[in-house]
Amino acid sequence: MSLIWLEKISRRYQMGSETIHALREVSLAVEHGEYLAIMGPSGSGKSTLMNLIGCLDTATAGKYVLNETDVSDMDDNDLAEVRNKEIGFVFQTFNLLPRANALHNVELPLIYGGVRSEERRERALEALSAVGLADRITHKPNEMSGGQRQRVAVARALVNRPSILLADEPTGNLDSKTGAEIMALFENLADRGNTIIVVTHEEDVARHARRIVRIRDGLIASDEMATRS
Ligand SMILES: Nc1ncnc2c1ncn2[C@@H]1O[C@H](COP(=O)(O)OP(=O)(O)OP(=O)(O)O)[C@@H](O)[C@H]1O
Ligand SMILES: [Mg+2]
């Protein structure tokens, strides 16, 4: 059974008398351990699709089965529960707590999850080591480089051991060298069995993924295995 199963998913937005078809009957299956890039022009529906996959939003029509659970008609509470369990998010703007050091930022999802403090610390340290930041755990976001901040955000996304890592333009605020380092980290995480979906408009970034899905006007225009450079 696929980890992600989207069947004829549509998402419409009603703006007064205008109906915007952000996604039009999109079907997509993603297996455990895949590393996928979603590409497409601005306004094509990438973020809409990510929000649906990440259970931040629900479709207007169609069926979504995530890790063998049909989430299509779930209410917000149930959806939040699935989201916390299954999804780790990485954003373009890092979204770290400015006053908290790296360790505390990574511990946060575990605090919400009710994990005891010793285990929290242990797992946060493990996640920070996995992203190469074992020597920066007491640094606050403004005491780190952009790339290091994004690695803290990746560690935070992974600390709950989610089944999917979702990243919307994770390199958008980074220079190209630092962006490449984040993509190398994602490759490393993919090699270790993590399922990763990255939204990007940069071909260089997408090339790191193993499969590239291109979206245009709310439709999947192509879905191909990436050619490795
Ligand atoms: N909350 C909303 N209300 C109304 N329309 C929306 C909303 N969110 C997105 N849209 C519209 O849906 C379409 C798809 O938007 P989406 O944000 O998914 O694009 P995108 O591919 O992520 O673009 P970008 O590359 O600029 O981030 C656009 O036409 C957008 O204007
Ligand atoms: Mg977007």
Q: Which residues of the chain have pLDDT under 70?
A: 228-229
Phi-psi region of 191 (alpha: psi -120 to 50; beta: other; left: phi over 0): alpha
Residue 223 confidence (pLDDT): 97
Q: Is 179 in the pocket of ligand 1 (CB under 6 A)?
A: no
Taking CA atoms only, the protein residue closest to ligand 1 atom 4 is: 13
Q: Which residues contact 2 (CB under 8 A, 6 or more apart)?
A: 29, 30, 31, 65
Q: Is 54 in the pocket of ligand 1 (CB under 6 A)?
A: no
Which ligand lies nearest to the CA atom of residue 38 in the structure?
A: 1
Q: Is 38 in the pocket of ligand 1 (CB under 6 A)?
A: no
How much is the pTM?
Answer: 0.94
Distance CA 211, CA 201 (A): 14
How far does the centroid of ligand 1 lie from the alpha carbon of residue 169, in Å?
14
Q: Which tokens is 188 given?
A: 């490393």
Expressed in angstroms, the distance from the first to the final Cα of the chain is 31
Residue 228 confidence (pLDDT): 63
3-state helix, strand, coil in the chain (%, to 5): 35, 30, 35
> Please, is 51 exposed, middle or buried when counting C-beta atoms within 10 Å of its C-beta (0-12, 13-18, 19+)?
middle
Q: Is 42 in the pocket of ligand 1 (CB under 6 A)?
A: yes
Residue 14 confidence (pLDDT): 95
How far does the centroid of ligand 1 lie from the alpha carbon of residue 128, in Å?
33
Exposure class string for 13-22: b at 16+ Cβ within 10 A, else e: eeeeeeeeeb
Q: Which tokens is 2 given?
A: 């696929």
How far does the centroid of ligand 1 lie from the alpha carbon of residue 218, in Å?
10
Q: Which domains does the chain have, with CATH numbers?
A: 34-60+79-225 (3.40.50.300)
Distance CA 24, CA 22 (A): 7
Distance CA 17, CA 135 (A): 55
Q: Hey, which of 44, 173, 216 would you mutate to test ligand 1's pocket, going by the most ligand atoms within 8 Å of its Cβ?
A: 44
Phi, psi dihedrals of residue 17, rounded to the nearest 5° = -90, -5
Q: Is 47 in the pocket of ligand 1 (CB under 6 A)?
A: yes
Residue 126 confidence (pLDDT): 95
